Structure 1
Amino acid sequence: MQYRFLCLLLPLVLAFVFKKELKQYRLSGYAQGTDYSIMYYAADSLVTKQGIDSLLNEIDLSMSLYKKRSLINQFNAAQSSVKTDRFINEVLKRSFEINLDTKGIFDITVAPLVQAWGFGPKAIQTEPSPATIKSIMPCIGMKNLRLKNGLLTKLKPCIQIDLNGIAQGYSVDLIAAYLEQKGIKHYVAELGGEIRILGPKPNGEAMKIGIEGPDKDGTPVIRHIAAINTGAITTSGNYRKFHQSGKKKISHLIDAKTGYPLDNEMISVTVYANDAITADGYDNALMAMHLKDAIAFVESRKNLEAYFVYHQKDGKVADTLTTGFKKLITP
């Protein structure tokens, strides 16, 4: 009986002795016009910068407007249809879902408007005239797109798409999938401020994420700390990327319904969701809503939370959180 007990105990002892301590590893680089950083815990260095760069380059060849022969540019130049790849197909499917859920606020056909206002691949120094905007508007609207059996079709030759409002979140999800395929179970992956988390840390502590927003002078600062063990956090804001026209700031976020840059009380919206493609898709749409409507929208949906920074009527900067987001914030 004693011998049998020792036989059962021996594998447990050996497993304890030979189990390697998990160490923290970090990677950083530049891709998709921005920086990325990855922190993970593992027994050995399982991920290389070359592997991450290769993955992100593959995504760019599909969805980057800055790669001349990318698939998205091929579609934008086409008269009718192109065959999609797995990257653009997955992003398009989610885009159609979010477009429907937001009643057209989220719209990937804004590419001609984004370019006209000087935020596209081609450098433009002057603001578009009302006549120019009016001429572009018939080419806006996801009702003019069809996705079926891996074929993306435009119903008008002038339709062009811009996936910048959702593709970066999707890229972070792909990085997360890549890490998990390597057997990594504790990580924070960030690309251009879009974050995907899997925790806790090996010691049981939750992953801590700084939630950024502008201070009263418009300077980006960390306003809250969130403790998260799984999910994604993304942010959309108009305090970093804009054009100055006299005393007026022109936002890079364009309203697909009017053709003009957003001009409401919103300064930034940070969204928490199960994955980054979802959070990234909704953060821009919430930026286009008025605060009261945006809060009601988020509160009525499962697995979606948000933190808002906005201008009060007196011009002062204020912030508020949905019920679920408050639970993520550390005291």
Structure 2
Amino acid sequence: MFSVNKSIILSISLLISFFFRKDDQRQFTIQGYAQGTDYTIKYFARDSVVTKGAVDSILAVIDSSMSLYKPYSLICQFNASKQGLKLDAHFKAVMERSFEINKATSGKFDVTVAPLVQAWGFGAKPIQAFPDSSVVRDLLKSTGMKHLRLSGNYLAKNSQTVQVDLNGIAQGYSVDIVADHLLKKGIKAFVVEIGGELRMKGPKPDGSALRIGIEGPAPVAGAEPVVRHVVSINNGAITTSGNYRKFLQKGSKKVTHLIDPKTGYPLNNDMISVTVYAKDAITADGYDNALMAMNVKEALAFVGRKKDMEVYIIYHRKDGSVADTLSKGFRKLITD
């Protein structure tokens, strides 16, 4: 269950209308529950070549590998181990990308935040109180991907206290695996959505692009979120990270689920949410949290240096008002 810790703050609404075509292609919809969230798959085909059973089976295998909410999962076995263990293909693939993104973001993306995530109340177990500074300092001793080493399919750690949490990237990976399954079945137009993380391929049979609504916080505090923009995409993925939905409050103290691996404390900056477009969902999902840890200028500059990546940012101005900005490439995607 990845979405419990990885909140899809800037939820994305599917604004897709599918119709019967002259070539007999029609829409098929699969809906279900996996990884602690709902999923929806829409695709065009002449027959129902992809079944709910097949999708559920794929997601169950990934859950058995990387879910912190399954005591028998491989990730739970790794976290309980003293020195590490051999990984399956799913876990290995996600760790390889995690090391890449950790290096590219100078440590802003870090999968060893599991103990800190738990301490701040966003883990599998409930907490009675937020940690004090001494607890945070102690947990930081085991935080940092320098404590991990991937050699072949063996993931080693230098201390039993080092634990990993893949909630910031594994759901995007899951979207890609399901999308790859559809592609192998010969499906040429689809949307795969798990917990708000999407990957799509088009155009629709009538030649039009897929349209996705991007939601953001309402102008008035406490009101329901609103659709801020609609984008048209024929190929790629969109994922979101943010802090206006997923938070905890004890007394007067309010904290968000995004933990800074450098300080050990929840992020506290001007960023509200970050929506990333990339060629695949694991890339978008892996980078959206790291961009949340940057300031607006830094995030835009970072994405500007990346090939095939665009970003849409909602943030607080200094006076507390809400504003948004976006990369040039993302602007081209917007149709409304």
Quickly name the TM-score band, shorter chain normalised. Answer: over 0.9
Counterpart of 1:250 (choices 252, 255, 267) is 255
- CA displacement at 1:248 relative to structure 2: 4.4
Q: In 2, are the aligned partners of 1:23 and 1:43 still within 8 Å (CA)?
A: yes
The residue that corresponds to 2:203 in the other structure is: 200
1:144 pairs, out of 142, 147, 156, with 147
4+ residue segments displaced more than 6 Å: none
Letter of the aligned partner of 1:173 in structure 2? D
Structure 1 unmatched runs, 5+: 1-18
Residues of 2 paired with 1:32 and 1:26: CA distance?
Answer: 19
Q: Say whether 1:125 aligns with 2:137.
A: no
Shift of 1:239: 1.1
Aligned to 1:276: 281
Q: Distance in 2 between matches of 1:248 and 1:313?
A: 21
Give the secondary structure class of the aligned counterpart of 2:227. Answer: strand
Matches of 2:101 and 2:160, distance apart in 1: 24
Aligned to 1:31: 34
CA positional deviation for 1:201: 0.2
Q: Which residue identity does 2:266 align to in structure 1?
A: P
Contact 1:242 1:252 in 2 (8 A): yes
- The answer as to 2:86 corresponding to 1:83 is yes
Residue 48 of structure 1: aligned partner: 51
- Greater relative CO (CA pairs within 8 A, separation 6+): 2
CA distance in structure 1 between the partners assigned to 2:201 and 2:254 by the alignment:
37
How far residue 47 of structure 1 moved from its aligned partner, in angstroms, is 1.2
- Superposed displacement of residue 246, structure 1: 3.8
CA contact (8 A) 2:129 2:250 kept: no
Equivalence for 1:330: 335
- Cα distance in 2 for partners of 1:23, 1:79 equals 52
Matching residue of 2:192: 189
Give the number of aligned pairs. 313
TM-score (norm. length: structure 2): 0.91
Aligned to 1:266: 271
Gapped runs of 5+ residues in structure 2?
1-21
Q: CA RMSD in A?
A: 1.1
| Correspondence for 2:236 | 231
- CA deviation after TM superposition for structure 1 residue 273, in Å: 0.2
Aligned residue in 2 for 1:8: none
SS in 1 for 2:165: coil
Mapped to 1, the partners of 2:23 and 2:331 lie a distance apart of 37
Superposed displacement of residue 249, structure 1 = 2.8
Tell me, in whole angstroms, the C-alpha distance in 2 between the residues paired with 1:152 and 1:103. Answer: 21
Secondary structure, in 3 states, of the residue corresponding to 2:333?
coil
Larger radius of gyration: 1
Counterparts of 1:285 and 1:173, CA distance in 2: 20
Amino acid at match of 1:71: L
> Any idea what SS the aligned residue of 2:31 has?
strand
Counterpart of 1:319 (choices 304, 324, 329) is: 324
Tell me, yes or no, if the aligned pair for 1:215 and 1:317 is still in contact at 8 Å: no
Distance in 2, matches of 1:82 and 1:185, equals 39
Question: Which amino acid letter does the alignment assign opposite residue 83 of structure 2?
Answer: S
Alignment check: 8 A CA contact 1:312 1:318 kept = yes
Mapped pair 1:296 → 2:308 = no
8 Å CA contact retained: 1:63, 1:163: yes
Question: Identity of paired residues, percent?
Answer: 61
CA drift of 1:125 comes to 2.7
Amino acid corresponding to residue 73 of structure 1 in structure 2: C
**Displacement of 1:215:** 1.7
Pick the structure with more helix per residue.
1
Matching residue of 1:5:
none
Relative to the length of structure 1, the TM-score reads: 0.93
Distance 2:283 2:208 in 1: 26
